């Protein structure tokens, strides 16, 4: 099967010189994956040869990855693959760099006159096996043409899918561009994805008046090559001298993508043929980006090394690679990654790789402090409440409360009540001043309502220390007195320093108001005063006669 270039210009004649860019040898890639021996040569000259590439038998993966190591004329070893010198191998990017032949056409004035006779030229080249693991990189290479009034063409024939492209340079004068490949005397054009070989045709345009302009300038050269874009820098000397073709013995660097051919990751990972190439446990498979089926192997994130070897991907110690953590943080290497820690009170922020104040810790400390304060306050209140309860119990005991309770239990039916503090505070609106109905040397009297019944509540000021123990019993005896001239005692409250007495409420005012008149406006008669004195004496007499037999030490002041 052939591949043709046909030039048929109407106003020009073309003289063609062809060059075969690269012919790569294909190999069978269905054999099982083998692990190279430790004795396999891993370097040729200063070029490392990592697996799946290898030098020698059983040292490379099947499918075109074999490398030969040959000495040059100076005895220095150089690696070759597919007949082309190998400049380097990248496992990470799945690329190799090789030297690709430059198609060169140099001539002088005499040669130019002799060549301007042809009108049509055909170039033919044979196909190669598509199983080769290599393809020209469309991102790193460009088809480059150098020379004045030069037409360069590049073509490919992939199983009947033809591709042709090229570029044209034109020089109107002998003034050349300086270090610029802009189309005047140098041009470049990209290539499609997946090119596995190239045929280059180089032509000199005739029949143009500008051709006569260059007569007398001696030898001139035209070049065409598919080469690495980053390795090319145009110089005007390339046109008038052979410098470009002589810089690497007529070869220029080119980048080839490579992959394990003819299977996708989905198929290869099943490993039905035993040829799955990603042997490292910490590796992953990625489908090839070229138009042909194939895949490459990469180490998983956090690992580096050779994914094509068992245990070839090693954990990366990111902490030793620069400073991945903030300056005030600490880096901790982990399997497949790393983590950053920050000083106490700060936490690591992944978004901007800094140590920021730990709001959670601050909130936690604050909440903890508030909780401690609340707990302490509650504990203090509980202790105070218990302490107050003990004090009340002590007052209750001192004022004869225990004896009073025992007596009340034994003598059922007594109309006497031991009130609680809450009952009396509620009855007097917390002993509000507006509830005061009388004051005396022995205390203050408030009016109030207890259980729906109006009462007079007396907060005593003093009590005889000698009579504290008998106080409760005295109150019980006094509550049993029924006399028209004595106010009835209803109960008491003993859990304070000075007890509180609860009497029946008499709404007619105080004795002082009766004798002196309210607001001192009304005066009572002398006979009324005598009657009051008489009835008071009767009440006291009855009180003495009733109590003294029970309590000989009872004081009438009480």
The angle, 0 to 180 degrees and rounded to 10, between the axes of the packed helices 401-410 and 359-398 is: 70
Alpha helices per DSSP H over 480-525: 511-516
Q: pLDDT confidence of 68, banded at 50, 70, 90?
A: very high
Q: Report the pLDDT averaged over residues 14-38.
A: 48
The answer for residues whose C-beta is within 8 angstroms of residue 404's C-beta and 6 or more apart is 418, 472, 473, 475, 476, 494
Spell out the SS3 assignment of 208-227.
CCHHHHCCCCCCEEEEEEEE
Report, in this order, helix, strand and coil percent for the chain, each rounded to 5: 25, 30, 45
Higher pLDDT, residue 471 or 24:
471
Alpha helices per DSSP H over 250-358: 265-268
Is the pLDDT at 368 greater than 80? The verdict is: yes
- Token output for 193: 């994805």
Point out the annotated binding site. Answer: 458
pLDDT of residue 7: 38
In Å, how far are 191, 201, 250, 448, 542 from 166, measured between CA atoms? 9, 9, 20, 116, 142
pLDDT of residue 178: 65
Which range among 53-62, 126-135, 431-440 has the greatest average pLDDT? 53-62
Report the largest interatomic distance among the alpha carbons of the chain, rounded to a whole angstrom: 172
437-474: per-residue pLDDT in tens? 888 767 888 999 988 889 988 888 766 666 666 676 67
Q: Report the pLDDT averaged over residues 520-533.
A: 74
Burial class, 399, CB count within 10 angstroms (exposed 0-12 / middle 13-18 / buried 19+):
buried
pLDDT of residue 96: 94
Q: Report the pLDDT averaged over residues 159-176.
A: 71
Q: What kind and span of H or E run contains 100?
A: strand 95-101
Point out the annotated binding site for ATP. Answer: 458
Q: Report the pLDDT averaged over residues 301-310.
A: 93
Higher pLDDT, residue 258 or 531:
258
| Helix, strand or coil, per DSSP, at residue 252 | strand
Q: pLDDT confidence of 295, banded at 50, 70, 90?
A: very high
Higher pLDDT, residue 436 or 29:
436
Q: Report the pLDDT averaged over residues 110-129.
A: 43
List the single range of 241-255, 492-506, 520-534 with lowest mean pLDDT. 520-534
In Å, how far are 65, 89, 104, 181, 347 from 86, measured between CA atoms? 12, 8, 22, 27, 50
The answer for residues whose C-beta is within 8 angstroms of residue 57's C-beta and 6 or more apart is none
Report the Cα–Cα distance between both ends of the chain, in Å, rounded. Answer: 140
Rounded Cα–Cα distance for residues 63 and 67 (Å): 12
Given a contact cutoff of 8 angstroms between Cβ atoms, the answer to whether 152 and 199 are in contact is no
Higher pLDDT, residue 291 or 504:
504
Higher pLDDT, residue 223 or 512:
223
Q: Report the pLDDT averaged over residues 366-395.
A: 82
Q: Report the pLDDT averaged over residues 166-191.
A: 79
pLDDT of residue 396: 74
Q: How many CA atoms lie within 13 A of 54 on its CB side?
A: 19
Higher pLDDT, residue 239 or 199:
239
Supply the Cα-derived Rg of the chain in whole angstroms. 58
Higher pLDDT, residue 536 or 307:
307
Q: pLDDT confidence of 14, banded at 50, 70, 90?
A: very low
pLDDT of residue 459: 85
In Å, how far are 104, 122, 222, 257, 312 from 266, measured between CA atoms? 45, 44, 47, 21, 22
At residue 178, φ and ψ (nearest 5 deg) are -100, 110
% of the chain surpassing 90 pLDDT: 19
pLDDT of residue 196: 67
pLDDT of residue 125: 39
pLDDT of residue 70: 93
pLDDT of residue 29: 38
pLDDT of residue 69: 95
Tokens 């290497």 locate to 333
Tokens 């446990």 locate to 281
In Å, how far are 50, 146, 271, 366 from 177, measured between CA atoms? 43, 12, 56, 74
pLDDT of residue 91: 94
Higher pLDDT, residue 407 or 550:
407
Given a contact cutoff of 8 angstroms between Cβ atoms, the answer to whether 253 and 22 are in contact is no
Assessment of whether the complete model's pTM goes beyond 0.85: no
pLDDT of residue 20: 34
Q: pLDDT confidence of 16, banded at 50, 70, 90?
A: very low
- Please, what is the average pLDDT of the chain? 77
pLDDT of residue 19: 37
pLDDT of residue 460: 80
Is the pLDDT at 548 greater than 80? The verdict is: no
Q: Report the pLDDT averaged over residues 80-90.
A: 92
Determine if residue 350 is left, alpha or beta; phi over 0 gives left, psi from -120 to 50 gives alpha, anything else beta. alpha
- Token output for 82: 């597919």
Rounded Cα–Cα distance for residues 229 and 351 (Å): 37
Rounded Cα–Cα distance for residues 496 and 63 (Å): 106
Given a contact cutoff of 8 angstroms between Cβ atoms, the answer to whether 13 and 116 are in contact is yes
């Amino acid at each position: 099967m052939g591949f043709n270039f046909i030039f048929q210009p109407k106003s020009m004649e073309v003289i063609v010189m062809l060059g075969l860019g690269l012919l790569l040898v294909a190999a069978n890639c269905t054999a099982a994956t083998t692990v190279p021996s430790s004795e396999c040569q891993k370097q040729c000259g200063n070029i490392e040869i990592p697996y799946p590439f290898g030098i020698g038998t059983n040292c490379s993966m099947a499918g075109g990855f074999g490398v030969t190591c040959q000495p040059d004329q100076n005895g220095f070893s150089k690696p070759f693959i597919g007949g082309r010198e190998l400049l380097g191998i990248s496992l990470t990017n799945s690329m190799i760099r090789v030297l690709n032949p430059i198609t060169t056409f140099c001539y002088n004035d005499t040669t130019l006159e002799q060549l301007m006779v042809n009108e049509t030229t055909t170039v033919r080249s044979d196909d190669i096996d598509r199983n080769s693991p290599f393809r020209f990189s469309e991102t790193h290479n460009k088809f480059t043409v150098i020379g004045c009034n030069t037409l360069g063409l590049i073509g490919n024939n992939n199983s009947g899918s033809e591709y042709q492209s090229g570029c044209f340079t034109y020089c109107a004068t002998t003034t050349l561009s300086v270090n610029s490949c802009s189309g005047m005397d140098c041009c470049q054009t990209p290539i499609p994805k997946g090119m596995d070989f190239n045929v280059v045709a180089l032509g000199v345009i005739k029949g143009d008046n500008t051709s006569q302009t260059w007569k007398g300038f001696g030898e001139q050269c035209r070049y065409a090559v598919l080469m690495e874009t980053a390795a090319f820098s145009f110089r005007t000397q390339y046109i008038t001298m052979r410098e470009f073709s002589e810089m690497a013995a007529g070869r220029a660097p080119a980048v080839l993508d490579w992959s394990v051919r003819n299977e996708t990751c989905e198929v290869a990972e099943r490993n039905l043929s035993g040829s799955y190439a990603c042997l490292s446990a910490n590796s992953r498979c990625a489908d090839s980006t070229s138009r042909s089926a194939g895949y490459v192997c990469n180490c998983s994130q956090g690992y580096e090394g050779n994914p094509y070897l068992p245990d070839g991907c090693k954990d990366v110690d990111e902490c030793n690679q620069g400073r991945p953590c903030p300056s005030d943080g600490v880096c901790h290497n982990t399997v497949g990654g790393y983590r950053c820690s920050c000083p106490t009170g700060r936490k690591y922020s992944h978004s901007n790789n800094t140590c920021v104040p730990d709001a959670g810790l601050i909130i936690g400390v604050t909440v903890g402090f508030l909780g401690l304060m609340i707990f302490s306050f509650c504990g203090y209140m509980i202790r105070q409440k218990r302490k107050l309860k003990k004090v009340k119990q002590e007052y209750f005991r001192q004022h004869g409360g225990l004896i009073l309770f025992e007596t009340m239990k034994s003598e059922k039916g007594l109309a006497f009540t031991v009130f609680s503090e809450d009952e009396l505070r509620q009855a007097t609106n917390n002993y509000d001043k507006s509830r005061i109905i009388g004051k005396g040397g022995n205390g203050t009297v408030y009016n109030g309502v207890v259980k729906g019944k109006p009462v007079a509540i007396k907060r005593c000021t003093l009590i005889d220390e000698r009579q504290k123990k008998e106080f409760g019993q005295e109150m019980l005896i006094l509550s049993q007195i029924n006399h028209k001239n004595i106010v009835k005692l209803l109960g008491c409250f003993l859990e304070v320093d000075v007890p509180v007495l609860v009497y029946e409420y008499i709404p007619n005012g105080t004795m002082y108001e009766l004798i002196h008149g309210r607001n001192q406006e009304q005066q009572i008669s002398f006979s009324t005063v005598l009657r009051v004195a008489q009835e008071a004496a009767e009440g006291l007499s009855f009180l003495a006669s009733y109590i003294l037999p029970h309590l000989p030490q009872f004081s009438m002041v009480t």
